[in-house]
Structure 1
Amino acid sequence: MARETPVAPTISASIQSQTLVVDPGAYTIKAGLVSSQDPAVQTECHVIPNCIARSRTKQTYIGSSLSQCNDFGEIQFRRPVERGYIVNWDLERAIFEHEFFDPKAKLYCDPASTNLLLTEHSNGPAALSSNADQIIFEEFSFASAYRVNGPSLNALNPLPPSLASPSAPSTLPIEILLLIDSSHSHTTITPLLRGRPIPSGIRRLDIGGKHISNHLASLISLRHFSLMDEPHIISQIKEDACFVAPSFPDALEATWRGPRSARRPPSDVVADYILPDYTRLHRGYLRPRNNPSGPPTHPAPSADHDTDTDKSKEESFPLSTERFVPPELLFSPSSLVSLPQSGLPATVLQSLGPLPRSLWQGLLANVVLVGGNALLPGFRERLEEEVRAVAPSEFEVRVGTAQDPIGATWEGGRRVAAERARVERCMVGREEYFEYGEGWVQRRFRGARVVENWGWEGGGG
C-alpha cells in the first residue's frame, strides 16, 4: 500500500505576526520586517550589499558595513550567490547573522518569533532548495518559512503607469504579465498567468550586470589603464556613464571622428571620468568632454572638490564607445563576447513560442522590466522598439519599467506578509519541517500558488 502523504494543518501555532521578507540577489539583498498586525504601515525596503569585502588594509566588511569603507582601491569581494542561486551558505549565513541577528542591526529579529519569506529563482536545483530549508529551520530556527518563486511576486504589484489604464484599473494579481528580470548574474523572462509562472515559457539569458561591468573593465583596460582589479570603481562608472543606445550602428558612427586629415568635433557622448583618489574625492564622477568647465553629470562631487588646484590633481580618462558598447551585450551577446545565445528581443519571442497564441496579446502588452539593469537609460525604449520589430504585427507591444526595479520583487513579498490570512496559508512551521521532513516541505512550497492558495482571484490587495 502506498504511503499517505501527511497533511499539515492549515493554520500553525508557530505562525508569528512579524515576517522577515528577504530577496537575496547576487549583488544586493532586499530585506525588511513586515507586521501582519498593522498592514497599513509601509515597511521600508533595505538594500544591503550581498557580499563580504576585504580592503587592501586587510579590513573586513560584511553586508551593510561596506558603507563604512573609505578606500575601495583594490578591494576584494566574495559573494554567496552565483548564477542567481545561493551556493555558499557559509558566506550567506555570516551576512544574515550580521544584518538580522545582531542586536545592533537595523533589521534585528529573533528567528524563534519571526516568519521568513525567502525568494528564489525559477527552476533551481532541488539540492540548493533543500540546503536552504536546512539552514532556515535547523540553524537559523525561524518559527516558520516560505520559499517563494520571486518572479511570481511581481504580479502582486500594480502595473507601471505607462502600462496601466486609468479607465480600467487592474486588480491584483495582474491577470497576465511578461516579467523580464535583468539583474547582476543573468536575465530571466517569466510569463505569468494569474500570478503563476508558465514553466514552458521561462527563458534565461546569461548576461547580467556583472558581464556588462566585466566588458566595461576590459575596454577601459585596453584603451587606457587597467581597472580589472577595481570592481567597485567599474560598477560606479557603469552606473554613472553607461546607457543603451537607441541604434548601435548610429552611435558608433556618431563617435567616429574620421581620418586624421579630416577630424570631426567630438560627439556629445564623449565625456571624462574623474577617478576617486580616496583622499579628496571618495567617489568618481562624469564630466562632459565638450564642456570641461561645466557641471559634472552624475554624481556631483563635494563642494570642496571644485577648485583649479583640485582639477590639476585629478586622474581622469575619456569615455566614448565604452559608454554604450557594454550594455549592448543584452542585445547582441554572440557578436560582442561570442556567447552562443540570442539577444534579449529574440529571447522574448522564444519565450512566447511554446505558449498558446491566445496568450501572446496579453503578454506582449504587459512587459515589465525589473532588476538593476532596468535602470540603464534607454533600455526600456530600445527593448520595446526591437521586440515590436520581431513580434507579429497584429499584437501591440508595450514595455514598462517597475517603479522601483530593484525592490519590486521584495515589494510583492511585503504585500503577502502584510496579511495574516495569506501568511497562514503559505508558511510552513518549524515543527512541521521536523515532523514531515524535507521532501514534504519542498512539495508544499512547490504547491503554494499565488492565486489558489491565497484566494486572490479578483482581489485588490
Structure 2
Amino acid sequence: MARETPTAPPPSGEIQSQTLVVDPGAYTIKAGLVPTHDAETEPECHVIPNCMARSRTKHTYIGSSLSQCNDFGEMQFKRPVERGYIVNWDLERAIFEHEFFDPKAKLYCDPASTNLILAETPTAPSALSSNADQIIFEEFSFATAYRATGPSLNSLNPLPPSLAPSTQPSPPSPPSPTAMSLDHPSPQPSLPIEIMLLIDTSHSHTTITPLLRGSPISRAVRRLDIGGKHISNHLASLISLRHFSLIDEPHIVSQIKEDACFVSTDFANDLDRTWRGTRSDRRVPTPDIVAEYVLPDYEVLKRGYMRRPGGVDPSTVIAAAAPPPPEREEAFPLSNERFTPPELLFSPLDVGLQQSGLPDTIMQSLAQVPEALWQGLLGNIVVVGGNALMPGFVERLEKEVRMLAPAELEVRVARATDPVGATWRGGRVLAGREEWLGRMVVGREEYFEYGEGWVRRQFAGRRWPSKAGEEGTET
C-alpha cells in the first residue's frame, strides 16, 4: 500500500509517446491508443465486451474473443461492473490483460511507456476510486495516469450540430461577456464546452451532470437507477409472459431491444393503437408499430431480426444472414413490447422503483444550481450512452423537459454524434494535447512517494484550461 505524506507535489510524471484511453462501461469497454504528439490523427475506438462469458458447450470467452462465438444460446455472463462501478477488479484485470497487455492483442501496449486516461462515473465512491488507482500504478505499472469523470471528458467534444448557435444578430445591448458565455452558446465555442447538461444513459444507470467549463457541479449531479439492463430485463419478462421464455437469453434480448425498441413520444396513444380489444370487440393494432421478430437458430441464422408486416425490415436485418426455412422459423409478434420497456426511463414506478423519471430528475438537478445558469444548461442538453440510440428518445425527453422548464427558457436536447463512444472521444482529445495532458496526469513515482490519498485529491482537483494557453488550476 502506498504511504501517505503531506509533502508538496512535484511536477507530474514525464509524458510518454502514446496514451491508452479507456472508458470501462458496464456493458462494453471503449478503448484506443492515441499518439501523444499528434492531435490530428483519428485513432480507432474499439468497442470490447466488458465481460467473461461461458457457453452451453462450456467454452469460456473473455472480452473481444466473444466475437468468435457462433452460438449465444443459454450464454452465461459475468461482468466486473455493477451499478456503474468496477467492483470486481480480479475480472477487470483479466480483461485488461487480454485486451491491452497480451502481445497478440490489437491494442497491445507496454504500461511502463504508456499514459493512461481512465474514465469513471462522477458518483463513484472514493474507496472504489482508490482501488482503481492502486491497480493502475501497483498492478499495471502505468507510467502516468489520469482518472477522469466521464462527463468532464464529454465536455471536450464539440457540441452536436443541432445545438450549434443560431446565426441571428446579437441584441443591440448585450449583457456582459461573462453573462453571454453562460446564457447563450458561443458562435464557435472553444473546448471544453463553456456550459452543458450531460445525460449519460448507459447499461446500469443514468446520470445527469451539469458542467461549467468542463467541471461537474458536484452538488447537482443526479443518478437514476434505470439503464439498458433494466430495459432488457423488462422486455425479457414481457416476451416470456406472452411468447417464448427468454429469461436465460440476455444476449438475444439485448439484440431484440436494439432492433425493435423505441421511445414513444405519446405513450397513451400508442398503447391505444396497439390494443387488440376484448373478446367481444376485437381490434386490429396499427401496422406501423406491430412487427415480428425472428429468433436466431445459430445454425442457418446467427442473429435475429425484426420483420415488418409484408417482409423484412431492411434497417435491422443483417445483410449476411439468410432467413431459415419457414418450417424451422421461430418468430413471435411484437406490439407494445416495442415501446413499453423504454418507458422505465420516464416512469420508474412501473417496476416499483421509488425514483422520479428522467425529466423530473433533470429539474431536480437544475434546482441545485443558480438560476442564472439554467438557460445555458437547458439550451445545451447532450445525451450520450447506448440508450440514446433508441428512436424517439431525444424527442420525448425534449418534449417533457420543455413542459417542466420555465416557459421563457429555450430547451434543446441533442444526441452526441457517437453516443456510445462519446466519452472515449473526449479522452482522445485530451490525449492528443500534450500540454493539457501533462497538467492532468500523475506519475507512478508520485503515487508511491505521495500516496493514494494525495493522488485522489489531485485527480479530483485538477482542471484543464478553459481556453488555449490558459493555465489549468488545482483545488
Partner of 2:173 in structure 1? none
1:399 Cα deviation after fit? 0.2
Structure 1 residue 229 corresponds to structure 2 residue 252: no
**Aligned amino acid, residue 302 of structure 2:** H
1:12 Cα deviation after fit? 2.7
Match 1:420 to one of 430, 434, 453? 434
Partner of 2:223 in structure 1? 204
1:36 Cα deviation after fit? 1.4
Whether contact under 8 Å (2:303, 2:321) holds in the other structure is: no
Change (3 A) 1:69 1:96: same
Bigger shift: 149-158 or 226-235? Answer: 149-158
Correspondence 1:2-151 to 2 at 5 A: 5-13=6-14, 15-151=15-151
Deviations 1:189-218 (A, max 9, x none): 000011110011110000000000000000
- Identity, % of aligned pairs? 69
Query: Secondary structure of the equivalent of 2:161?
Result: coil
Partner of 2:334 in structure 1? 319
Match 2:188 to one of 169, 194, 214? 169
Partner of 1:277 in structure 2? 297
Whether contact under 8 Å (1:285, 1:297) holds in the other structure is: no
1:264 Cα deviation after fit? 2.7
C-alpha distance in 2 between matches for 1:219 and 1:258: 18
Partner of 2:446 in structure 1? 432
1:387 Cα deviation after fit? 0.4
Partner of 2:368 in structure 1? 354
Q: CA RMSD in A?
A: 1.8
Change (3 A) 1:256 1:109: same
TM-score for the superposition, normalised by structure 2: 0.91
1:454 Cα deviation after fit? 8.4
Query: Secondary structure of the equivalent of 2:325?
Result: helix
Bigger shift: 376-385 or 441-450? Answer: 441-450
Change (3 A) 1:311 1:362: same
1:17 Cα deviation after fit? 1.6
C-alpha distance in 1 between matches for 2:40 and 2:236: 45
Match 1:300 to one of 310, 317, 322? 317
Partner of 1:240 in structure 2? 259
**Aligned amino acid, residue 434 of structure 2:** R
1:153 Cα deviation after fit? 1.1
TM-score for the superposition, normalised by structure 1: 0.94
**Aligned amino acid, residue 217 of structure 1:** A
**Aligned amino acid, residue 23 of structure 2:** D
1:313 Cα deviation after fit? 1.1
Partner of 2:181 in structure 1? none
Partner of 1:179 in structure 2? 198
**Aligned amino acid, residue 445 of structure 1:** F
1:448 Cα deviation after fit? 1.0
1:267 Cα deviation after fit? 1.7
Deviations 1:150-208 (A, max 9, x none): 11111111111111126422221111100000000100000001111001111000000
C-alpha distance in 2 between matches for 1:144 and 1:442: 14
**Aligned amino acid, residue 278 of structure 1:** Y
Match 1:215 to one of 234, 257, 280? 234
Bigger shift: 159-168 or 434-443? Answer: 159-168
Change (3 A) 1:446 1:386: same
Whether contact under 8 Å (2:464, 2:471) holds in the other structure is: no
1:134 Cα deviation after fit? 1.0
Deviations 1:32-84 (A, max 9, x none): 00111222111111110000000000111110000000000000000001111
1:302 Cα deviation after fit? 5.0
C-alpha distance in 1 between matches for 2:364 and 2:336: 30
C-alpha distance in 2 between matches for 1:4 and 1:46: 39
C-alpha distance in 2 between matches for 1:346 and 1:8: 43
C-alpha distance in 2 between matches for 1:310 and 1:154: 47
Q: What stretches of structure 2 of length at least 5 have no aligned partner?
A: 168-186
Query: Secondary structure of the equivalent of 1:178?
Result: strand
Deviations 1:389-432 (A, max 9, x none): 11110111000000000011111111101011112111111111
Query: Secondary structure of the equivalent of 1:318?
Result: strand
Structure 1 residue 193 corresponds to structure 2 residue 207: no
Structure 1 residue 331 corresponds to structure 2 residue 332: no
Query: Secondary structure of the equivalent of 2:162?
Result: coil
May I ask how many residue pairs the two structures share in their alignment?
449
1:127 Cα deviation after fit? 1.1
Change (3 A) 1:42 1:85: same
**Aligned amino acid, residue 152 of structure 1:** S
Whether contact under 8 Å (1:173, 1:457) holds in the other structure is: no
Whether contact under 8 Å (1:255, 1:270) holds in the other structure is: yes
1:303 Cα deviation after fit? 6.0
Deviations 1:121-151 (A, max 9, x none): 1131111111111111111111111111111
Change (3 A) 1:351 1:217: same
Q: What stretches of structure 1 of length at least 5 have no aligned partner?
A: none
